[in-house]
Amino acid sequence: MLLSLNGLEVDCIIGELPDERTRAQRLTVDVELTVGDAAAASDELADTVDYAALAEKVRAALTAAKCRMIERAAKIVCDVCREDPKVRAVRARVTKAGAVAHLGSASAEYCSGTPYDFPEK
């Protein structure tokens, strides 16, 4: 089963430029988690990922990391998600708006798990 968490907003230090190292900027995080299908059968919260808690862990990790690159931020998101034993694989996309003049946003995607762990889109 694929569980998607979309649009998590995180205000954190991100970027290489000197002014970026002194002010928080907003990242948007989208995560796809490959998990078992126990919750689909049981309809019980205990059988799935607590995504409210996971979102808070991701937010805390990115805030503490003060990454220079969105690529690193995407890997951190995957690492946090993989700490949950119910998560078999993760695909994380981190988007930073206004990263470059005249560019709407820049995104980095990182996968932790094999490609076979993700359903075809």
- Kindly report the three-state secondary structure assignment for every residue of the chain: CEEEEEEEEEEECCCCCHHHHCCCEEEEEEEEEEECCHHHHHCCHHHCCCHHHHHHHHHHHHHHHCCCCHHHHHHHHHHHHHCCCCEEEEEEEEEEECCCCCCCEEEEEEEECCHHHCCCC
Which is catalytic among the residues 66, 75, 86, 96? 96
Respond yes or no: is residue 86 known to be catalytic.
no
Give the residue numbers annotated as catalytic, written as ranges. Answer: 96
